[in-house]
Amino acid sequence: MNEKNKVKQDLEWRFNFIKQRYGDRLKPEELKELKKVADSLEKMTASLRAVELKNNDEPFTRFIPYEGET
């Protein structure tokens, strides 16, 4: 199973778990919105998962050039 299918399957499992546990308290439109939010989170985190890090990789530092005092 490739990583994308594994992530999608995990997302579906989590959504079904929430639906089973809280579905009786949520309206259908709230469940639909929850599914939409979960899908967008999966898309955002896909880029993070794509980066391979080794144990000794340093954190990324952001370079902001000095423009003088204003």
Find where tokens 């005092």 sit: 69
Segment 4-28 shows an average pLDDT of 87
**Residue 11, φ and ψ in degrees, nearest 5:** -60, -45
The answer to the question of residue 42 being in a domain is yes
The answer to the question of residue 57 being in a domain is no
Instruction: Name residue 48's amino acid.
Output: L
Nearest to 13 by CA among 43, 45, 38: 38
Check residue 29 and give its pLDDT: 94
The answer to the question of residue 59 being in a domain is no
Copy the structure tokens of residue 42: 């999966």
Residue 33 domain boundaries: 3-49
Structural domain total, the chain: 1
Segment 21-26 shows an average pLDDT of 91
Q: Taking the complete model, does pTM exceed 0.85, yes or no?
A: no
Check residue 21 and give its pLDDT: 93
User: What does the alpha-carbon distance between residue 12 and residue 9 come to, in Å, rounded to a whole number?
Assistant: 5
